[in-house]
């Protein structure tokens, strides 16, 4: 009979340990997601995009009056510039960005389409059309990167 009780106690201890481990994992995962979301929103708020999170419905962040939404915000590296169109390589896709007469192009001072060169980092705010192209309302020109012979990139001061 003692062996039976010992087996029951061991089974209870295993179940409690598994539940505690799963609970700890879940709490840690949720805390990590919340921390990443807060960092993203702080980054976007500092750049005037602020607001609540995109596709997953995350919350947090204020300011700027504009919400982060992949249909209204893009950031990436310029692949090419042709007239009023830019090919922008983002983390997820190569995006065609159209610039119009009302598009504000910004850097430390007001910029122009001629300031946008391959290798530049851009942050775009605008709207995405059904065909996947993006019409820019504002373009923020970041620092360009120098490509070394081995393909590595270093920021240009």
pLDDT tens digits along 1-26: 688 888 899 999 999 999 999 999 99
Predicted local distance difference test score (pLDDT) of residue 12: 94
The dihedral region occupied by 37, where left means phi > 0, alpha psi between -120 and 50, and beta the remainder, is: alpha
Domain housing 27: 1-68
Residues 88 and 17 in one domain: no
What are 80's two structure tokens?
């090419």
Residues 118 and 133 in one domain: yes
CA-closest candidate to residue 36, choices 2, 62, 61: 61
Predicted local distance difference test score (pLDDT) of residue 153: 44
Predicted local distance difference test score (pLDDT) of residue 17: 92
Predicted local distance difference test score (pLDDT) of residue 67: 53
Predicted local distance difference test score (pLDDT) of residue 143: 58
The last residue of a domain, from among 28, 45, 68? 68
Question: Please, are residues 109 and 122 in contact by the beta-carbon 8 Å criterion?
Answer: no
pLDDT in tens, 33-92: 888 888 887 777 666 554 444 443 334 434 444 455 777 888 888 999 999 999 998 888
Residues 107 and 88 in one domain: yes
CA distances for 51 relative to 42, 48, 60, 77, angstroms: 9, 9, 7, 24
Residues 62 and 79 in one domain: no
Report whether pLDDT(138) > 80.
yes
Query: CA-to-CA distance for 91 and 70, rounded, in angstroms?
Result: 11
Whether pTM > 0.75 for this model: the answer is no
């Amino acid at each position: 009979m003692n062996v039976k009780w010992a087996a029951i106690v061991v089974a209870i201890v295993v179940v409690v340990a598994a539940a505690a481990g799963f609970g700890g994992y879940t709490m840690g995962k949720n805390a990590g997601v919340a921390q990443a979301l807060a960092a993203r929103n702080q980054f976007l708020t500092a750049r005037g995009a602020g607001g609540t999170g995109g596709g997953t419905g995350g919350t947090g962040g204020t300011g700027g009056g504009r919400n982060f939404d992949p249909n209204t915000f893009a950031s990436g590296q310029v692949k090419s510039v042709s007239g009023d169109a830019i090919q922008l390589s983002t983390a997820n896709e190569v995006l065609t960005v159209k610039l119009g007469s009302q598009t504000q192009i910004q850097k430390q001072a007001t910029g122009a389409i001629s300031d946008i060169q391959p290798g530049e980092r851009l942050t775009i705010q605008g709207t995405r059309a059904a065909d996947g192209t993006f019409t820019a309302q504002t373009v923020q020109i970041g620092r360009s990167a120098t490509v070394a012979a081995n393909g590595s990139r270093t920021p240009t001061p």
